Amino acid sequence: MEDNKKKIEELLLIALNEGIEKAIKKAKQTNSPYVLDEFHDRLVEEIKKRKQ
């Protein structure tokens, strides 16, 4: 489970620094529904936070 958390953090950094499309592509490549879902949730939270 710790590996998943680390992967999600890496995906968030990629999304913020290199683009969301690239991060989504990498998230899909994990073949992990958990990682994809959690990444989506965290990304939405981050975008909302930055819009405030």
Give the N- to C-terminal CA distance of the chain in Å, as an integer.
31
How far is Cα 27 from Cα 33, in angstroms, rounded to an integer?
9
Give the integer Cα–Cα distance in Å for 4 and 34.
Answer: 8
Average confidence (pLDDT) over 4-33 = 96
Task: For residue 11, give both structure tokens.
Answer: 């995906």
Q: Tell me the domain boundaries of the chain.
A: 2-51
Per-position DSSP letters for 1-52, written without gaps between them: -HHHHHHHHHHHHHHHHH-HHHHHHHHHHTT-HHHHHHHHHHHHHHHHHHH-
Overall average pLDDT of the 37-48 stretch: 95
Residues across the chain: 52
14: pLDDT strictly greater than 80:
yes
